[in-house]
């Protein structure tokens, strides 16, 4: 016999937990099922380096980060945007602050206190969390699970799928659900790594620079410029500066590195034209332009022997980044692709599965790091939760 419940949430990440809270607040019985041994594992991992909750900037600029998905996500982010994220965190006892770049963090810089407080609040509202429950698909209208106690089925009047993307599989986001949805005829965009490092097949002389940071640079794609830093790793390039250009890199668009973004090309050329005496070109670059050894090594690696004069100044201001594509999907912070907009109605309900809603990273949208990812997961979770609550109300009235 199937277990009966008002609302079933599959996935205990930020989107799923937000949907669960909305439904519990509406007076419904709620079960949250997750395949892993505990909730919010990817959130906890993200918080190890400082949990970036959201970005404090004008709404129009914030929306621009979502590119072609901005129009779709706009009403959801209007309902639960950056200020709402800050209020939500503080209501859970996590005081927040805004850094110099507009990024918002909890004062303790960790995810665990916030998550503990949230799970406690959800428990007090009657939300039941079931871990090690792996969703295996549908049997009619019922959801099927592999559990420590064997196969189980749950028949819910409304279901919210918040199954994550396809990166960091060890934390639960393995994308295995995609095949089940495709098998049900639901349209998905193919997964692709996002916010990920780039592969570079280094020359042997670069080995001495593995682990070296490259700071104070800009990455240029067409008219767009991204200030940031990155690290030279054994396998390529990693870090926030590289993550910002992971999409154009994936699309094989040309990327240039401006090694001196605060200097004009004319200033660079003037400094290079000064007499260098017996100094090597490397020492001349260090003394006249303050370029460190890692930057000089990149100049040679990506551009070959160093030219003189104007050509060298041009290379410094626009060094072509040669790479072999993104690192593997499971190393990506997030993914592009997922459930397509046209597979869903305006409340994020699957058109082919009435009463089943989708939220979070499993939706087909992409955004950079910097608080955009978490904010959209929370806002789509709230939107799907409200949609499910409305569905339950209409079903009850009928």
Report the chain's C-alpha Rg in angstroms. 24
Quote the tokens at residue 5. 């419940």
Instruction: Name the β-bridge partners of 319.
Output: 257
Q: What is the pLDDT of residues 100-145, one digit of tens each?
A: 889 999 999 889 999 999 999 999 999 999 999 999 999 999 999 9
CB 364 within 8 A of CB 376: no
Residue 29 DSSP SS3: coil
The winner for highest mean pLDDT among 45-49, 57-61, 275-279, 393-397 is 57-61
Kindly report, residue by residue over 367-393, the tens digit of the pLDDT.
999 899 999 999 999 999 999 999 999
Average pLDDT over residues 167-187: 92
Q: What is the pLDDT of residue 55?
A: 96
- 245: its two tokens: 């250009």
The three-state secondary structure class of 49 is helix
5-to-19, 22, 39, 155, 272 alpha-carbon distances in Å: 15, 15, 20, 6, 72
Q: Which two tokens stand for residue 172?
A: 């639960």
Please state, for a pLDDT cut of 90, what percent of the chain lies above it. Answer: 86
**Sign of the C-alpha dihedral computed for residues 238, 243, 248 and 254 taken in this order:** negative
DSSP assignment of 57-91: S-HHHHHHTTGGGHHHHHHHHHHS-HHHHHHHHHH
* Residue ranges in the chain assigned as alpha helix (H): 14-25, 41-46, 59-64, 70-79, 82-91, 112-124, 177-183, 240-243, 246-250, 265-272, 281-289, 293-303, 309-317, 372-397
**pLDDT for res 398:** 61
Rounded to the nearest 10 degrees, the angle between the axes of helix 265-272 and helix 281-289 is 130
Predicted local distance difference test score (pLDDT) of residue 168: 86
Residue with structure tokens 């070296």?
212
The per-residue pLDDT for 1 is 59
Residues 311 and 315: their CA atoms lie apart, in Å, by 6
In the chain, the domains with their CATH numbers are: 3-193+335-397 (3.50.50.60), 198-320 (no CATH)
Name the 3-class secondary structure at 384.
helix
Mean pLDDT score, 67-73:
97
Q: Are 182 and 30 in contact (CB under 8 A)?
A: no
User: Which region among 47-56, 69-78, 330-339 has the lowest average model confidence (pLDDT)?
Assistant: 47-56
For residues 99 and 196, give the distance between their C-alpha atoms in angstroms, rounded to a whole number. Answer: 23
């Amino acid at each position: 016999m199937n277990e009966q419940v008002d609302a079933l949430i599959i996935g205990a990440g930020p989107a799923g937990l937000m949907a669960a809270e909305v439904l519990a607040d509406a007076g419904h019985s709620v079960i949250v099922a997750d395949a892993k041994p505990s909730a919010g594992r990817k959130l906890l991992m993200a918080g190890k380096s400082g949990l970036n909750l959201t970005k404090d900037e004008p709404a129009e600029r914030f929306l621009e980060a979502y590119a072609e998905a901005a129009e779709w996500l706009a009403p959801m982010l209007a309902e639960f945007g950056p200020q709402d994220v800050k209020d939500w965190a503080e209501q859970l006892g996590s005081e927040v602050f805004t850094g110099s770049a507009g990024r918002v963090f909890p004062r303790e810089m960790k995810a665990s206190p916030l998550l503990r407080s949230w799970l406690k609040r959800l428990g007090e509202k009657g939300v039941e969390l079931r871990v090690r429950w792996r969703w295996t698909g549908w049997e009619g209208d019922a959801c099927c699970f592999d559990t420590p106690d064997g196969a189980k089925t749950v028949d819910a009047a409304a279901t919210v799928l918040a199954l994550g993307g396809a990166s960091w599989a060890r934390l639960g986001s393995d994308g295995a659900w995609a095949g089940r949805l495709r098998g049900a005829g639901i349209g998905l965009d193919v997964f692709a790594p996002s916010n990920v490092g780039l592969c570079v097949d280094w020359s042997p002389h670069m080995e001495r620079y593995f682990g070296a940071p490259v700071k104070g640079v800009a990455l240029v794609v067409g008219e767009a410029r991204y200030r940031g830093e990155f690290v030279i790793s054994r396998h390529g390039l990693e870090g926030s500066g590289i993550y910002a250009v992971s999409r154009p890199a994936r699309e094989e668009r040309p990327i240039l590195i401006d090694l001196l973004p605060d200097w004009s090309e004319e200033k660079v050329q003037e400094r290079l034209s000064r007499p260098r005496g017996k100094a090597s070109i490397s020492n001349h670059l260090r003394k006249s332009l303050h370029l460190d050894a890692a930057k000089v090594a990149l100049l040679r690696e990506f551009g070959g022997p160093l030219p003189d004069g104007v050509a060298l100044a041009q290379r410094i201001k626009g060094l072509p980044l040669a790479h072999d594509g993104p690192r593997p999907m499971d190393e990506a912070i997030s993914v592009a692709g997922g459930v397509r907009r046209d597979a869903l109605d305006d409340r994020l309900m699957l058109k082919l599965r009435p009463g089943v809603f989708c939220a979070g990273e499993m939706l087909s949208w992409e955004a950079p790091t910097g608080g955009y990812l978490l904010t959209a997961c929370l806002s789509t979770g709230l939107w799907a939760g409200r949609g499910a609550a409305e569905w339950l109300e209409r079903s009850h009235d009928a």
